[in-house]
Amino acid sequence: TEAWSRAWALSDLPGLMQSLRSPFSLPDISKKIVRTAFLTLEAANVILYQYDADNNAFEPPVTHGPFCDAAIKEAGDPRDPKLSRLKEYVASDYVVDVQKHPILSLADEQARSRFIDRERIKSCAVLVLRDREGGKLVGLMFVNFQETHEFSAEEKRAMDALTISAASAIRTARLHKVELDAMREVHAAIAEKPDL
């Protein structure tokens, strides 16, 4: 029954991914991405850090699902040095045992307990969101599981497809925002000089 239920959830993924391509605002699209990952992949929780290449910085996370530590849901830490190390990954990483991962298992530099301990994370998919056209990093998404999770080939394919769609949706939303900002500037300039 569990395998059938998972197959049914994954079968709906193409439709969900298609809906990501609509021109929503960036905050809306981010929420939709983490919600889609959470519901489809039956994760304990999902965290998305968008990456701003122009400023070489991660933005505060967008989350979905329950968290033991409310602080991560509210703010997270986009300056976490682990993110800087993970952004060098070329492809997604499917981690069955987070305690053995060379980056996720590192001690927290701020002397707090590790996220994986606070949230009781056993397995995690670190999904690297890259723009297919330029290969630029647009974000990192963590799909967390509180039980040891063996990632099937079918799940990896589904997550890879979700990663491609999510990166494309973020890129499209960013371009849409740039276009809207440019149009607002033009309209403001015309309003100041109506004789133009």
Q: pLDDT digits over 152-171, tens only? A: 999 999 899 999 989 988 88
Averaged pLDDT score across all residues of the chain: 82
Whether pLDDT at 86 is above 90: yes
Amino acid at residue number 180: L
The pLDDT of residue 7 is: 54
Report d(CA 61, CA 77) in Å as an integer: 8
List, in sequence order, the alpha helices (H) in the chain. 2-11, 13-20, 26-41, 70-74, 81-86, 115-118, 153-192
Whether pLDDT at 65 is above 90: yes
Burial of 44 (0-12, 13-18, 19+ CB in 10 A): buried
Q: Of 67 and 172, which is predicted with more confidence? A: 67
Please report how many Cα atoms fall inside a 13 Å half-sphere around the Cα of residue 27, on the Cβ side.
1
- What are the residues facing 124 on neighbouring strands? 95, 144
pTM, to two decimals? 0.80
